[in-house]
Chain A
Amino acid sequence: MAIFLFFLLSTVCVGAVLGMILSKNQAYSALFLVLAFVCLGGLFGLLGAPFMAVVQIIIYAGAIMVLFIFVIMMINLREGISREKKKWTIALSVVLALVLLLELVLAAKGASLGQSPEGSVSPKEIGQLLFTKYLYPFEITSVLIIAALVGAIVLVKKREKE
């Protein structure tokens, strides 16, 4: 059952990413990406990380992608975005990506992947780690988010005429 779910989710995920690459409309790309992120959330759930699955769906598929779609609607391009016109650049990038794929697979072969024991990590364990071992990174992240918020508002705000 789990293996069937894994293949279903991973196929849909890779298909959604391919759809995002092939679609010419940015809004469709963003929606394909939402699908891919939801599938990844399901995969996180399969990996015994229910909290991360929920965070993935709420923050990635929810918040971040809504931000993307919002900006796409604000920009509202009249003509669709064309893909790279020079064919050789596409070919070159695909070749480079395949080389990287080979490299990564070879690197992953050497890694010790462990036994994957049963059981999932409860949100309680993550919370305990977050507020003990990772307390300082946690606080620094909150400062980072404030900075990003203020920065985004200041950047986009229209200057008032003097």
Chain B
Amino acid sequence: MIPASYFFLLSIILFVLGIIAFFVKRDLITQFMAVEIMLNAANLAFIALAKSHRFVDAQVIVFFIITVAAAEAAIGLAIILLIFRQKKSIKTEEISSMKG
């Protein structure tokens, strides 16, 4: 049987990789993908705990996370498309009109 700690470690590694991707990448779409990776790392931790504690509710919560992520992706990509139409660019350093 695979120990739950292995899954936990994998989830931690994925989360940290997501954070690195978020900071290293310079365009909105890839940064958005990095956020999805972090969400998935959280999902993995939830399901690992659902297994190790025999806690089915965690899987329901993951179901909700996936649904909310789908809604978030639709809205986020619409906003990215809007930004691209206005600025002709999705690089983060060129989107600075809100910068003080």
Contacts and interface: CB of A to CB of B under 8 A. Distances in A.
Interface of A: 2-3, 6, 10, 13-14, 17-18, 20-21, 26, 29-30, 33, 36-37, 40, 43-44, 46-49, 51-52, 55-56, 59-60, 63-64, 67-68, 71-72, 74-75, 77, 81-84, 89-90, 93-94, 96-98, 100-101, 104-105, 108, 111, 113-118, 121, 125-126, 129-130, 133-134, 137, 141, 144-145, 147-149, 151-153, 155-156
6 contacts: A29-B30, A81-B27, A83-B25, A90-B23, A104-B15, A116-B51
Interface string B1-31: 1111111111011111111110111110110
A64 B24 contact: no
A48 to B, nearest CB: 5
Given A68-B77, A116-B2, A129 B30 contact: no
B21 A21 contact: yes
Contacts of A71: 29, 77, 80-81
Interface residues of B, number: 68
Interface in B38-71: 40, 43-44, 47-54, 56-57, 59-60, 62-64, 66-71
B9 A108 contact: yes
Contacts of B95: none
* 7 shortest interchain CB distances as A-B pairs: A93-B23, A114-B52, A148-B71, A152-B78, A155-B78, A113-B4, A116-B52
A129 to B, nearest CB: 5
Contacts of A155: 75, 78-79, 81-82
Given A17-B17, A84-B26, A101-B13, A113 B73 contact: no
Interface of B: 1-10, 12-21, 23-27, 29-30, 32-33, 36-37, 40, 43-44, 47-54, 56-57, 59-60, 62-64, 66-75, 77-82, 84, 90-91
A46 B1 CA distance: 10
Contact of B17 (A21, A68, A84, A148): A21
Contacts of B63: 52, 55, 126, 130
Contact of A75 (B51, B78, B90): B90
Contacts of A40: 40, 43-44
Given A17-B37, A82-B26, A3 B84 contact: no
Given A81-B27, A113-B4, A148-B72, A43 B10 contact: yes
A162 to B, nearest CB: 19
